[in-house]
């Protein structure tokens, strides 16, 4: 958030390498993946965030940042599916809840015509 992403990446990498665990490791994967994305290092971002998703599958923030990275990599369909799934799984908005099944159904069919 301070605009010092290059410096932050080095610290995240070192912290992960030195053996962080639990919430600290979870936050480091999110922070490093987000930092790589902000630096335009999309492949590194994708790899780190994928590892974060594998280790912490319930972390919706990691999934959202992964989706943002996929968007940057022009993987629009997968990015939208992930973001729509996160939305329907976490929202408390009554209107979205009412259409949860439809949103889920169309989430991976956005380019199809029916």
User: Using the 8-state DSSP alphabet, how is residue 39 labeled?
Assistant: T
Total count of domains within the chain = 2
Q: What is the pLDDT of residues 96-113, one digit of tens each?
A: 999 999 999 999 999 999
86 and 68 both lie in a single domain: no
12 and 40 both lie in a single domain: yes
**pLDDT at position 5, please?**
77
On whether the pTM is more than 0.85, the answer is yes
- Percent of the chain past pLDDT 90, that is, above it, reads 93
Q: How confident is the model at residue 63 (pLDDT cuts 50, 70, 90)?
A: very high
39 and 51 both lie in a single domain: yes
Structure-block tokens of residue 85? 């799934």
Q: Give the position of tokens 């439809």.
A: 102
Cα–Cα distance for residue pair 45/39, rounded to 1 Å:
9
């Amino acid at each position: 958030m301070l605009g010092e992403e290059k410096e932050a990446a080095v610290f995240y990498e070192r912290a992960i390498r030195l053996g962080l665990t639990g919430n600290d490791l979870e936050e480091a994967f999110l922070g490093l993946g987000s930092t790589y994305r902000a630096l335009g290092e999309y492949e590194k971002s994708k790899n780190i965030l994928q590892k974060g998703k594998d280790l912490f599958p319930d972390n919706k923030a990691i999934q959202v940042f992964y989706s943002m990275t996929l968007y940057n990599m022009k993987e629009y369909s997968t990015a939208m599916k992930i973001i729509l799934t996160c939305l329907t799984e976490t929202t408390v908005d009554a209107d979205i809840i009412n259409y949860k099944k439809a949103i889920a159904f169309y989430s991976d069919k956005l380019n199809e015509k029916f």
